[in-house]
């Protein structure tokens, strides 16, 4: 039977709306899928966006995602799909420099989308899907 649970960790920003940090789906025969909510560059300790630009925000986003995945007993190496939302596609190269440092070969499948606006004035938001085998 497929089971579902919610992940909420203190090392990532609390949800700023009616959503969970992540949902975990336990698969028949073992293994799990983890679906994270989009993360922006909020510092969980201060509840504010990190200082700096796209690279600092991307770094914080990945740290937030790592904390959420750890709460689901997963890591960035378990990510199979990422979706990146950018407020400005001119930030693509700078975001990619930070992103590439955290996702080993082979990197997950990814889509990058230009968004007309992101929550709290963010420059980048990233959501991921991770798979952890039995």
Domains and CATH numbers, the chain: 3-132 (3.30.1330.40)
* Nearest alpha-carbon partner for 63 in 43, 83, 36: 43
Mean pLDDT confidence for 19-31: 93
The reported pTM is 0.95
Task: Using the structure block, give the residue that is written with the tokens 């085998």.
Answer: 133
* Tens of pLDDT, residues 47-105: 999 999 999 999 999 999 999 999 999 999 999 999 999 999 999 999 999 999 999 88
Per-residue pLDDT at 1: 55
CA of residue 32 relative to chain centroid, distance: 17
* Nearest alpha-carbon partner for 36 in 54, 10, 15: 15
Q: Is residue 35 a contact partner of residue 25, using CB atoms and an 8 Å limit?
A: yes
When the pLDDT of each residue in the chain is averaged and rounded to a whole number, the result is: 95
Q: Let me know if 103 is exposed, middle or buried by CB neighbors in 10 A (0-12, 13-18, 19+).
A: middle
């Amino acid at each position: 039977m497929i089971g579902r649970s919610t992940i909420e960790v203190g090392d990532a920003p609390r949800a700023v709306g009616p959503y969970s940090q992540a949902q975990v789906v336990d698969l028949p025969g073992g293994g799990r899928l983890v679906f994270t909510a989009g993360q922006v560059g909020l510092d969980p300790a201060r509840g504010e966006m990190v200082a700096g630009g796209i690279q600092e925000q991307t770094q914080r986003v990945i740290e937030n995602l790592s904390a959420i995945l750890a709460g689901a007993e997963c890591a960035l190496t378990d990510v199979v799909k990422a979706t990146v939302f950018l407020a400005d596609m001119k930030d693509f190269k700078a975001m990619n420099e930070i992103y590439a440092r955290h996702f080993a070969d082979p990197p997950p499948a990814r889509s990058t989308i230009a968004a007309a606006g992101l929550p709290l004035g963010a420059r980048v938001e990233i959501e991921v899907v991770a798979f952890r085998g039995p």
